[in-house]
Amino acid sequence: MTGGTGFEALAFVFVAGLVTDLATGLGALPFFYVEEISDRATVALWGVASGIMLAASVFGLAREGLAYSHGLPVLLAAGALVGVVLVEVSDRLLARLDVGGDGATVDGGTVSPDIDPSAIATADLRTLVLVLGVLTVHSFPEGVAVGVSFAELGLRGGVDVLGLAVPPLAVLMTVAISVHNVPEGLAVSIPLKAMDVGEWRMVGAAVFSSLPQPIGAVIAFAFVRVARAFLPFGFGFAGGAMIYLVCTEFVPDALDAGSDLPHRGIPAFLAGALAGAGVMVPLLFVHVGP
């Protein structure tokens, strides 16, 4: 069996997105065994995630987008631009939130919402809704990356999983996003650990932070299956957003974590990035192509 009903395909993609979401919870697991994670290990983990995401974006998503483009890759470029804009908009929304304070005046009098970092762990409903709204914008590109990579699910040869022919790119992107989510889960857990939040609540908070990903995966998958002419746009959107995320978030977060290390931890970050890319690139060239 290589195909499946529309519902089966949507359910499969949702489960793939859910896997990436649950992987975020892995970032909290070290705190079950140790009190804190070394800065060097944190920096290296950000490096691994960066290398994997850059390789997946350039040699996976971009290559697929070019393969589906006819003539100049206008749709691919437009998608990349929109992906960058969405990430930037989400960053600006996050910057307007007063985390853990009593509200702050920004932009000439606009009062930013008050978000307590422990709200996710303590399940304050009002704040959960607010945070989820921001996270939906912030995590959506990662879900899109998973969704568009499944565009050929059941339509051509791939890896047989539960009777469905899964495109190799989809398998690799699901793994890549899952690995990328581990340091994000760690980043969510570190401040919660400092506030003595329980380990399982940290896991729940980390998973919650990536909750929009399976939803974004299903939406993107459904869109590119119906509007297949826009596949290059979808690949460009996901790739552009991922590359921009690495440049504007992963690298700065790694440098912040390594601020007390020699050379700000750059050697550890580069070693991790090379390791991540070194594993991903050969797989992409072997299994992914026009």
Are residues 280 and 56 in contact, defined by beta-carbon separation less than 8 angstroms? yes
Residue 189 has a pLDDT of: 84
Residue 193 has a pLDDT of: 81
Burial string for 50-81 (b: 16+ CB within 10 Å, else e) reads bbbbbbbbbbbbbbbbeebbeeebebbbbbbe
Structural domain boundaries of the chain? 6-31+38-287
Burial string for 117-147 (b: 16+ CB within 10 Å, else e) reads bbbbbeeeeebeebbeebbbbbbbbbbbbbb
Q: DSSP character for 113?
A: P
Q: What is the 3-state secondary structure (H, E, C) of 15-37?
A: HHHHHHHHHHHHHHHHHHCCCCC
pLDDT under 70: residue ranges of the chain: 1-5, 93-138, 155-157, 286-290
Helices (H), 150-167: none
Q: Tell me the per-residue pLDDT of 19-63, one tens digit each, with 9 for 90 and over.
A: 999 999 998 898 888 888 888 988 998 999 899 989 989 988 898
Residue 109 has a pLDDT of: 39
Containing 112, the helix (H) or strand (E) segment is strand 110-112
Residue 214 has a pLDDT of: 92
